[in-house]
Amino acid sequence: MRALAAQLVGDELVVFPVRHHSPACALQLLRLFADCRPSTVLVEGPRSFTRLIPLLVHGQAQAPMAIYTYAVGKPGKAAAVDAEQADDAADESRRAAYYPFCDYSPELVALREATKRGVPARFMDLDFAEQCMLEADPEDQEAMSLLEERHYRRSAYLQRLAERLGCRDHEELWEHLFENTAPALTLREHVEQVVTYCHLARCDNSDAELAADGSLQREAEMAWHVQRALAQRKANEGPVLAVMGGFHAVAMPALLAQPVKRPVLRKGSVSDEASALIRYSFDRLERLNGYAAGMTSPAWHQRVWEGLLKLEKIGRGNVARLRTECALAVLGEIALELRDKHHLALPMPALAAAYEQVLRLSALRGRQAPLRNDVMDGVVSCFIKGDADADGALVHAVAQRVLAGQALGKIPAGAGSPPLVRDFEFRVRRQRLKIDDGEPRRLVLDLYRRPEHRISSRLLHGLSLLGVPFAVRVAGPDFVLGQGLDRLQEHWEYAHTPMTEASLVEASMYGVTVPLAVANRFVARLDQMHADGQGRDARAAAAALVQGCVLGLHDHLTRALAQLRSAIAEDAGFASVTSAAMSVGLLWESREPLEARDLDELPAVLRAAYERAVFLGRDVTDAGAEANGVMAALAQLRELLRSTAGGSLDGSLYWQMAEWLYRQHRSALIRGACAGLLYAAGMLSADDLGVALSGHLVGLVQPRDAVAFLRGLLHTARETAWQQAEVLKVIDQLLARWDESSFVASLPDLRLAFAEMTPRETDRIAEAVARLHGEEDLGGLLHHDLSEEQLQANLALSSAVGEVLVADGLCGGRG
Amino acid sequence: MNEPTAKVLRAPAELIHADELERLRDKDAGPRPPGWQLSPRAVRRFIVGDDKLGIRRKFYGDDALIDRCIVTLMSHRGLLLVGEPGTAKSMLSELLSAAICGRSVCTIQGTAGTTEDQIKYSWNYALLLAEGPTPKALVPGPMYEAMRAGILCRFEEVTRVQPEIQDSLISLLSDKVLHVPELDGDESTLFAARGFNVLATANIRDRGVHEMSSALKRRFNFETVRPIADRKLETQLVREQTEALLKQASVEVDLPHDVVDLLVTAFHDLREGITSEGTVIEKPSAVMSSAEAVAVGYAACLDAHYFNDGDVGGEHIARQLMGTVLKDNPDDGKKLRHYFDVVVKQRAQRQASWRRVLEARRELDR
């Protein structure tokens, strides 16, 4: 290892191995610059980034920043290097990545120092488009990081080493081994240790694996650049400095021993590529927030880094003490936020105890100074009073936030128009929309038959979500609200106005491409729903999922699905869960226009919603406004079981529930509704229904309950009213038996019971009633044989009644 | 196993693991906090295991939790382990005291009836009447004992104790001194020897527990012990422990792999509220810990051994599972029925072992 390290650091060439975002490496690099003036500085990163260096090191630029880059492959040639793969990729493939920088990124330190000293600096890696061609099967399409650390993450050796040293993961292992001690080491010692660490991680990867993910080709390219820089270097100049990830650096000596053949990659298959400098934020750098291009606790490292710089200025200081002070400061900040913002009682002794805990923990774990995880453990031990999952959630979140930080970077003026505007234009033109003038235009999209129309539809829906005034949907199916589903086409009106571009510039904070910005807005919306306590609303969660499909965010649906799952699990509303089940069923059936075919989880979610609805169904009540919702939901579930989506559901659960509700439920309305369901499904014979009906209507139950039963029955099986003679007979008897006050009391419900009949159905019922009394029909409603006096008298009566109704406020001013 | 444990039904941790503790003590070079039998790192090794010294791992799960516990016990604050029942809180507490002070039996079992003199001290009333209050007549309670000897005092189920009685711990924890006002002079105050601390366990969410005063809460560091999340690990644990119990009871029954698997799966489903297939179910309020799983497995084996031909199957597990879940909450019955209807039924269509579980479904309707 020593020999290997010695080969890296020479008089002519210094290959400086780093770990991205490592303050320790950045500090050693600073010292290297203080000791010697390199002739050229080469930095790992796509070589086309070189033109962005002036912006990166600009006086107005403030970290965190990131270079955003993308490449679009031509249809069918996305993986031109691998002919077999090419067939699969029929569509145009687009890939994008971030290359984030913060103040303590060794790469940025190298560029800044080089500029300060007037040393030429450039990036030396394959371009992003070329890297994409090499790696046929990326892990994450949209937002991968160019500073990925999977080699360390996956190394079995490092895993075991971490276990032995009591570290949770390779991140803690690195902090344990390097960040704590490196500032006190000499350059040579530091390089030796990094080389050892990286070499061991590399041993876990076979050459085939390294070739498959493009590492070998990238290393060849970098080695070629190093050799060229060496050749151009004059004899009296300082060494060539190559800053690269330690994982690649350890391969350099072997490569550089002989002339390197530069990998030849034809970029013919790339139709578009570009990169831009964008501002970044600490919370997006935080890996724990779910961004791939990340690290843990950027603010914690920033604090340590700033301290290190101060120590450097005054000569060698005590690094352990610095880190201990940082730990105390962070604890203080967490305590302050918990106290001030969240009114948690955290007295001084608790802070002192936490500090003591942190120190003792780091001692127990054999560390000179506390690491991030020690600080976190101190918080967990001393700030949480109660159950970690319940009382501790807030403390945990606050601590996480303080460690991650909120800092936002700054981009110097002149960095060009935001990538989002260019991306918008590219996409809109690709969909053949006219944006060269402000003319309003109409657009008809055939969602079912034309895939490219679906892309347009998503784009326009996405722009609406972003609040960009560009297009308005004037007609078409609304899958989110479940309206107009029989329509096949969407009608839009659009116009490109100056407002459009202005809003796009504003929206560019959400993301650098339209899909990314839409996705981020969508995720923010999910977060908002969660924060507003809608996390328990299955109906809203299902709507969000459908909306995600309408927006074409199929890669981001995992989150919406997860939220829907948990909402289904937590929502206690029968109607709401049923409605969620219906939405999911609808989504499954409309998978053509919504392209939800690949959502393999849908049937499982549908089943979960259905089963939960059936479970909740036994607890329904008919209180007030809920009654209609419950009856509608009962009927909806029946529809669901009949639909194609519901074909695989276990119907017996539903019918068992209906049977139980019919027999046991307290509410006559729900018993009636279930009687109707069972009768319509042939599970309750006409005779049994008649018995139940007369039992309810003629028995000792209150008139109100009797009518409620009838109302429930007619709601779910209205055909009984004319098919079942028994029904009308019983009602007839009942009406005859009731006195006026009971009749008046039941009138509203009776009216509701028959209110949903169509005119034709009303006619059929009237016929049946007439037959019951031995008549042909009930006679016409129009009578022509009235005398004039009768007519006048009736008119007078009618207006008198009208006045009374108006006086009682019952007629809505209809005089 | 050592001699004295042979006659004992269940020996304390320091006897069961006496040889491991001795090995650790011999090899222990690290500095020991005052009053400790082992260095903190040796204590850690005792609990999370050490292949080199042949120390078996005794606690599965969160190693960082162990670090935090050890460090807390070194500090001036007491340690309070919280979590659902059956998450091995008491076992962890026993192991920690066995390793740190070589004695895990200095224990108070908290109940609603625990009184202050059961915690601190009481009197030998015959002597008290004969001689008046003298040190001889004083009967030390566990806390007195622990303070005098400078060892850990375990306090199980501290939240079941009445809040007024709980609060008597406050002065012991902050001043580390116990007053005996009945005695005179030096004997009226007992200063805790170095090494004293309190290691309590509590269940916060269960019924029949009392809220702790915030003054007492401040004197404790809370650590939450979680159920084992790894299904494979839990399967292994349940299997080992069930087989150990069966061996102790001299019951020769073969517990098939798929039955243990089924048992752990059912427990996981009901505990997490979501099955391995992603089906969401309602969590019963009954405790679904690994310890309960072992109890169910053991009882199922006994059932099969004594009442059937010894062929342990799903129906035995199902019957015992019902007994575990159906305790006093009628809602739990509904939830379990739902679990059988939507989850077990589905699995029964695919796997024979689950079919036998489903057969027991009708017993739920009784």
CA separation for the pair A655, A718 (Å, rounded): 19
Cβ within 8 Å, pair B342-A650: yes
Lowest mean pLDDT segment, chosen from A7-16, A117-126, A214-223, A273-282:
A273-282
Q: What are phi and psi of B249, to 5 degrees?
A: -85, 5
B334 to chain A, any CB pair closer than 8 A? The answer is yes
Cβ within 8 Å, pair B204-A377: no
CB A8 within 8 A of CB A226: no
Q: What is the mean pLDDT of residues A439-449?
A: 84
Domain boundaries, given as residue ranges, for chain A: 2-280, 301-404, 419-507, 650-782, 786-815
Cβ within 8 Å, pair A387-B218: no
Spatial CA neighbour of A603 closest among A573, A640, A555, A559: A640
Average pLDDT, whole number, for chain B? 87
CA separation for the pair A563, A537 (Å, rounded): 10
CA separation for the pair B28, B36 (Å, rounded): 12
Q: How confident is the model at residue A416 (pLDDT cuts 50, 70, 90)?
A: low
Beta bridge partners, B107, equal B154
Spatial CA neighbour of B229 closest among B267, B185, B193: B267
pLDDT at A701: 64
Cβ within 8 Å, pair A381-B71: yes
Query: Which tokens hold the place of B289?
Result: 């810990």
Q: Provide the shortest C-alpha distance from residue B291 to chain A (in Å).
A: 20
Beta bridge partners, B220, equal B78
What single letter denotes the amino acid at residue B62?
D
Give the residue, A775 or A160, on which the prediction is more confident.
A160
Question: Beta strand pairing status for A270-279 and A93-101?
Answer: unpaired
Q: What is the mean pLDDT of residues A155-162?
A: 84
Chain A to chain B, count of Cβ pairs less than 8 Å apart? 104
Is pLDDT at A480 greater than 50 in this prediction? yes
What residues in B contact A366, CB-CB < 8 Å?
A: 41
Lowest mean pLDDT segment, chosen from A299-313, A641-655, A661-675, A724-738:
A724-738
Among left, alpha and beta (phi > 0; psi -120 to 50; other), residue B67 is alpha
CATH fold for the domain made of B3-224: Rossmann fold (3.40.50)
pLDDT at A87: 34
Is pLDDT at A80 greater than 50 in this prediction? no
Q: Is the pTM of this model over 0.90?
A: no
Among left, alpha and beta (phi > 0; psi -120 to 50; other), residue A366 is left
Interface predicted TM-score (ipTM): 0.81
pLDDT at B123: 94
Cβ within 8 Å, pair A364-B341: no
Q: What is the mean pLDDT of residues A376-389?
A: 88
Is pLDDT at A560 greater than 50 in this prediction? yes
Q: Calculate Rg over the CA atoms of chain B.
A: 24
Q: How confident is the model at residue A330 (pLDDT cuts 50, 70, 90)?
A: very high
CA separation for the pair A354, A369 (Å, rounded): 15
- pLDDT tens digits, one per residue of A356-381: 999 999 998 888 889 999 999 999 99
B214 to chain A, any CB pair closer than 8 A? The answer is yes
CA separation for the pair A433, A494 (Å, rounded): 9
CB A689 within 8 A of CB A726: yes
What residues in A contact B361, CB-CB < 8 Å?
A: none
pLDDT at A509: 66
Give the nearest partner residue to A615 out of B77, B226, B338, using CB atoms: B338
Q: Which residue of B has its CA nearest to A652?
A: B341
Long-range CB contacts (< 8 A, 24+ apart) of B60-67? B60/B228, B60/B230, B60/B233, B60/B237, B61/B225, B61/B226, B61/B228, B61/B229, B62/B226, B63/A166, B64/A168, B64/A373, B64/A377, B65/B223, B65/B225, B66/B92, B67/A166, B67/A361, B67/A364, B67/A365, B67/A377
Domain boundaries, given as residue ranges, for chain B: 3-224, 231-365
* SS3 labels along A319-384: HHHHHHHHHHHHHHHHHHHHHHCCCCCCCHHHHHHHHHHHHHHHHHCCCCCCCHHHHHHHHHHHHC
CA atoms within 13 A on the CB side of A262: 13
Question: CB atoms < 10 A from the CB of B311, how many?
Answer: 12
pLDDT at A597: 66
Query: Per the omega criterion (within 30 degrees of 0), is the bond before A64 cis?
Result: yes
Is pLDDT at A642 greater than 80 in this prediction? yes
Q: Which residue of B has its CA nearest to A163?
A: B63
Spatial CA neighbour of B32 closest among A369, A364, A382: A364
Q: What is the SS3 assignment for A631?
A: helix
pLDDT at B108: 94
Lowest mean pLDDT segment, chosen from A77-81, A234-238, B59-63, B243-247:
A77-81
The rounded Cα B211 to chain-centroid distance in angstroms is 20
Percent of chain A with pLDDT over 90: 8
Contacts of A322 (CB under 8 A, 6+ apart): A304, A307, A308, A311, A369
Residues, chain A, total? 815
Helices B352-359 & B257-272 angle (0-180, nearest 10):
60
Spatial CA neighbour of A264 closest among A136, A138, A134: A134
Handedness of CA A74, A75, A78, A79 (dihedral sign): negative
What single letter denotes the amino acid at residue A415?
A
Beta bridge partners, B197, equal B152
What's the count of helices (H) and strands (E) in chain A, helices before strands? 39, 11
B122 burial class (0-12, 13-18, 19+ CB within 10 angstroms)? middle
pLDDT at A623: 66
Lowest mean pLDDT segment, chosen from A571-580, A616-625, B267-276:
A616-625
Report how far apart, in Å, the C-alpha atoms of A233 and of each of A39, A124, A230 are: 7, 16, 5
Cβ within 8 Å, pair B67-A356: no
Handedness of CA A229, A230, A233, A238 (dihedral sign): positive
Query: Which tokens hold the place of A228?
Result: 């060229």
Average pLDDT, whole number, for chain A? 81
pLDDT at A328: 94
Report, as ranges of residue numbers, the positions in chain B whose pLDDT lies below 50: 1-5
Cβ within 8 Å, pair A356-B75: yes
pLDDT at A815: 38
Q: Which helix (H) or strand (E) holds A475?
A: strand A471-475
Spatial CA neighbour of A642 closest among A633, A651, A634: A651
Cβ within 8 Å, pair B71-A364: yes
Question: What are the residue ranges of helices labelled H in A250-347?
Answer: 252-256, 282-285, 298-313, 319-340
CB B264 within 8 A of CB A551: no
Is pLDDT at A172 greater than 50 in this prediction? yes
CB A82 within 8 A of CB A132: no
Q: Please provide the distance, in angstroms rounded to a whole number, between the alpha carbons at the two ends of chain A.
A: 100
- pLDDT tens digits, one per residue of A692-735: 877 776 666 676 777 788 888 888 887 777 777 777 777 777 77
Among A362, A389, A602, A611, the strongest candidate for a mutation testing the B interface, having the largest count of B CBs within 10 A, is A611
pLDDT at A378: 92
Cβ within 8 Å, pair B68-A381: yes
Is pLDDT at A75 greater than 60 in this prediction? no
Helices A392-404 & A372-383 angle (0-180, nearest 10):
150
B280 to chain A, any CB pair closer than 8 A? The answer is yes
What residues in A contact B51, CB-CB < 8 Å?
A: none
What residues in A contact B72, CB-CB < 8 Å?
A: 357, 381
CA separation for the pair A555, A96 (Å, rounded): 14
Cβ within 8 Å, pair B75-A360: yes
Instruction: Report A:633-672 residues touching B (Cβ under 8 A).
Output: 650, 653, 656
Is pLDDT at A92 greater than 60 in this prediction? no
Beta bridge partners, A14, equal A9, A241
